[in-house]
Structure 1
Amino acid sequence: MSTNLTLRSILDANKLTRPNFSNWLQNLRIVLRQEKKLYVLDTPVPSEPCSDATDEELEKYQCFIDDNEQATCVMLACMSPQLQRQHENMDTPTMILHLKELFVAQSRVEKYQISKALFQCKMTEGSSVNVHVPKMIGYIEKLAQLGFVMNHELSFDLVL
């Protein structure tokens, strides 16, 4: 149980905000994997079993519903109050789909704007290398935070 709380503290320290969606999702996957509930993120909620279902089918369904509820609570707990209100009545797979639609499109525009600034970045004559290089490194790091990781060689070549 203490391991659960320790891993959940990762999510508490990194609540979901617009620019950190991919990092937040990665941390959420780590926590849910450790709690053996990762499967609920990508599995649609099953239909309720019919009245003549076996005990095994009923148990499997109830297990999914319980795991889904716990995963939903973990997700809601590590969001801003505004996002909590928007997603409080959704199941886990629906919530993940909605968040991806909401944030991935925004991050694509942001990635474009940052990469455009990076590729247009030129050092003017007489300006300081001490200002230019950190600015370019900052662009490269912002792109990495948005999930666009360049290999080391390309990053190095761009700065030069």
Structure 2
Amino acid sequence: MDLRYEEKEYVLDKELIEIDETKASAEEMAEYRAHEKDATKVSCIMVATKTPELQRFYEDYWPYRICQDLMEKCHQSAHQERYEIFSSIITTKMKNGDSVMSHLQRMQRYVDHLIKLNVNFDEELSIDIILHSLPPCYDQFKMTYHINKEEVTLSKL
């Protein structure tokens, strides 16, 4: 079912709020009942597409609340993921004798993962962090890099 085609997408963005039937106008009641009917259909579809555990959890939720809860859970998950990647990126140090290429590739994967999580992580900062992660035997290389002030991409580094 395409919610846009069926014009039921609004139930994801507009919360269904109970109204007092004794005080509501006929127009308000009709609008409420239409919203409730659409929300029930969409809710059934949403719950049916979840795992059995999530089906039990969301069976009494309206679509708006399901969306809000899922967005909150995704945000928490992304936040935790960003934290773990940042922790790895700042604690990763290349050991003497390790392959520079494999170290750079590992660091590049961290940066790429952060970019996928919509973290604004410019290339200059990435290069600074990678240079910092190199062992003392690369001090001459780091000094030459900073003295030359050459614009270099991460892949060129």
TM-score class, shorter: 0.5 to 0.7
2:86 corresponding residue in structure 1: 115
List alignment gaps of at least 5 residues for structure 1. 5-31
- Per the TM alignment, residue 116 of structure 1 is displaced from its structure 2 partner at its CA by 0.9
Instruction: Find the counterpart in structure 2 of residue 126 from structure 1.
Output: 97
**Superposed CA RMSD:** 3.1
Structure with the higher fraction of residues in helix conformation:
1
- Corresponding residue for 1:77? 48
Structure 1 position 117, deviation (Å):
0.4
Using the TM superposition, give the Cα deviation of residue 100 of structure 1 relative to its aligned residue in structure 2, in angstroms: 3.9
Tell me how far apart the structure 2 counterparts of residues 47 and 100 of structure 1 sit (CA, whole Å): 23
Match for residue 15 of structure 2 among 44, 50, 54: 44
Deviations 1:51-90 (A, max 9, x none): 5644432332122113322332343233222112211111
Distance 1:54 1:87, change over 3 A: same
| Higher normalized contact order (CA 8 Å, seq sep 6+, divided by chain length) | 1
Give the equivalent residue in structure 2 for 1:25.
none
Asked if 1:57 corresponds to 2:28, the answer is yes
Report the counterpart of residue 98 of structure 1 in structure 2. Answer: 69
Alpha-carbon distance in 2 for matches of 1:104, 1:155: 24
> In structure 1, the residue corresponding to 2:85 is in which secondary structure?
helix
Tell me the TM-score normalised to structure 1 length: 0.60
Provide the secondary structure at the position in 1 that maps to 2:53.
Answer: helix
Displacement of 1:97 in angstroms is 3.2
- Asked if the contact 1:49–1:57 (Cα under 8 Å) also holds between the matched residues in 2, the reply is no
**Percent identity between the two aligned chains:** 32
Q: Matched residues in 1 for 2:91 and 2:62: separation?
A: 43
1:135 aligns with 2:88: no
Aligned partner of 1:148 in structure 2 is 119
Q: What is the TM-score normalised by the length of structure 2?
A: 0.61
Supply the distance in 1 between the matched residues of 2:80 and 2:110 (Cα, whole angstroms).
14
Post-superposition shift, 1:156? 5.2
Of 40-49 and 80-89, the range deviating more from structure 2: 40-49
